[in-house]
Amino acid sequence: MKQLHIVLIPSMAQGHMIPMLDMAKLFTSRGLIATIIATPSFSAPITKSQLSGFDIGLSVTPFPPQGSSLPPNIVSFGQITDPDLNSKFLRAMELLQEPVEAILQQIRPDCIISDMFLPWTADSAAKFGIPRLAFYGTSFFAQCLLEKFGIHKPLDNVTMTSDPEVILVPGLPHELKFEISQLCPFFLEETANDFTRVFEKMNEAWKKTYGEVVNSFNELESAYANHYTNVIGRKAWGIGPLLLCSDKNLQRGKESTIDEHECLAWLDSKRPNSVVYVCFGSLATFSRAQLAETAAGLEASGQDFIWVVRKNEEGDEEEDWVPLGFEERVRNKGLIIRGWAPQVMILGVCAGMPMVTWPLFGDQFFNEKLVTEVLGIGVSVGNKRWMMRDSEGVEREAVARAVEEVMVGGGAAEMRRRAENYKEMAKKTIEEGGSSYNNLNTLIEELSNYVAPTKQDTN
């Protein structure tokens, strides 16, 4: 049987590209050929992996592509600060279809695994007579909720409560309530918009898609993995956590803005389980007022912390949000990293820890429910409003309360015990006999059987 060749196509955001790179490593470890089609600004981590000995192919295509009205300096979704650029960015991603298909014509893979936000790849796969798998970097839990809510009039599928601002989502393994303000506002609009159109295309693409690959594992959320595949009827394989496929010493994203040895030395100077890691990812932005409230809350909590503060894309170094004397007062308790942090290394030190949840947008309010109510390993900071940009509204008292509760509160020990159990489950699931290990075997076997004998003979 020929060696299967998988092409992976991530979208242009760090949080979407990095798991794809981890997945490529996973496939090559099982003897498959893996090639990533990436844009120039996202090719560096792949090149680093190649230089570190990972046999991963790389094909680069320009972005923005020819014919795009997107400004040439906008190469990542994380750079967008003007909402008017959203539609141009989404259109630019669609214009990648032609150059990507030119690459596919050249390398002739056996399967495409593409980001969920690239639905046109289903048509590309059909043109070449190969299966397309959609990659979902979120949880089965969140996918179940997305199916429930749908788009346009999602409140038709839920149950209103005595509080007009609170809804109950029926038909799931747990009773779940949400405030309407926590739902994506784009889905509440009666008319189509840029984002609902993308989701409509995703739903259409699903009809032509062979299945879904999910960055989760059955042992973590078995009820929702079963619900998604057996009740909703989606063909999906949980093969995560993909993070564990990465070498913690290998830089996966952008270059760290702090010396990793300095960071590790600082952590080593602290007691075990005593440091809070504060990070909001590569897309979240906060108002200056919210940054100041967060700083005050961390200080008031009295806990040691590492806080990763995202630099804005314009390179503005202005930091008038920093409370007067803050850095001097927390010098021995807090480490502030401005820019990109060595997150894999940091989490390698403290994996298995409970969380303070601070959802902002996307599926984050769904994931908060999973962490706090289903798994019981976290405390909500109390944010109630879905907001993509310049998030604000969480006061310092709420920050301090949540941090104290998860670190030294009455339920902290039990949350830590549960989190440690999930950590061990995560390790075992990717080992022989674990669900993710077995799911990957099943997926590879199905893809091998899908390849027509005539194609095997001609390759």
Give the CA angle between residues 246, 252, 254 to the nearest 5°: 170
pLDDT for the residue 317: 46
pLDDT for the residue 453: 55
Residues sharing a CB contact under 8 Å with residue 219, sequence separation 6 or more, in sequence order: 425, 426, 428, 429, 434, 435
Q: List the structure tokens of 144.
A: 């179940």
pLDDT for the residue 269: 94
Q: State which H helix or E strand residue 246 sits in.
A: none
pLDDT for the residue 82: 84
pLDDT in tens, the chain (459 residues): 579 999 999 999 888 999 999 999 999 999 999 999 999 999 999 999 999 999 999 999 999 999 999 999 999 988 888 888 989 999 999 999 999 999 999 999 999 999 999 999 999 999 999 999 999 999 999 999 998 887 666 777 777 677 888 988 889 999 999 999 998 887 777 767 788 888 889 999 999 999 999 999 999 999 999 999 999 999 999 999 998 876 555 555 555 667 778 888 898 999 988 999 999 887 888 888 999 999 999 999 999 999 998 765 554 445 678 888 999 999 899 999 887 666 666 665 457 889 999 999 989 999 999 999 999 999 999 999 998 777 778 999 999 999 999 999 999 999 999 999 999 999 999 999 999 999 999 999 999 998 855 454 544
pLDDT for the residue 193: 79
- What's the CA gap between 359 and 366, in Å, rounded? 9
Compute CA 298 distance to the chain's CA centroid, rounded to the nearest angstrom. 25
Measured from the Cβ of residue 253, the count of other Cβ atoms closer than 10 Å reads 19
Domains 5-150+191-241+430-458 and 260-421 fall in the same CATH topology? yes
Among residues 5, 22, 110, 115, which one is catalytic?
115
Give the CA angle between residues 169, 422, 213 to the nearest 5°: 65
Indicate the SS3 state at residue 410.
coil
Could you tell me how many helices (H) and strands (E) the chain has, helices first? 18, 15
Q: List the structure tokens of 174.
A: 């747990």
Is residue 382 within 8 A of residue 398, CB to CB? The reply is: yes
- What's the CA gap between 67 and 57, in Å, rounded? 27
pLDDT for the residue 30: 95
| Class in CATH terms, 5-150+191-241+430-458 | alpha beta
Residue with tokens 């960015």: 89
Exposure string over 203-216, b if 16+ CB within 10 A, otherwise e = eebbeebbbbbbbb
Question: Which sign does the torsion angle of CA 437, 429, 218, 248 carry?
Answer: negative
Among residues 16, 22, 110, 304, which one is catalytic?
16
- What's the CA gap between 77 and 93, in Å, rounded? 10
The answer regarding whether domain 260-421 maps to CATH 3.30.70.20 reads: no
pLDDT for the residue 248: 53
Question: Which sign does the torsion angle of CA 360, 363, 366, 368 carry?
Answer: negative
Is residue 31 within 8 A of residue 57, CB to CB? The reply is: no
H helix intervals, 42-160 = 44-51, 85-94, 97-107, 121-127, 140-149
Is residue 420 within 8 A of residue 215, CB to CB? The reply is: no
Preceding omega of 64 cis (within 30 degrees of 0): yes
CA distance to 28, 32, 108, 131, per residue, from 456 (Å): 19, 14, 12, 15
Query: Is 16 one of the catalytic residues?
Result: yes
Domain boundaries, the chain: 5-150+191-241+430-458, 260-421
Query: Is 5 one of the catalytic residues?
Result: no
pLDDT for the residue 29: 94
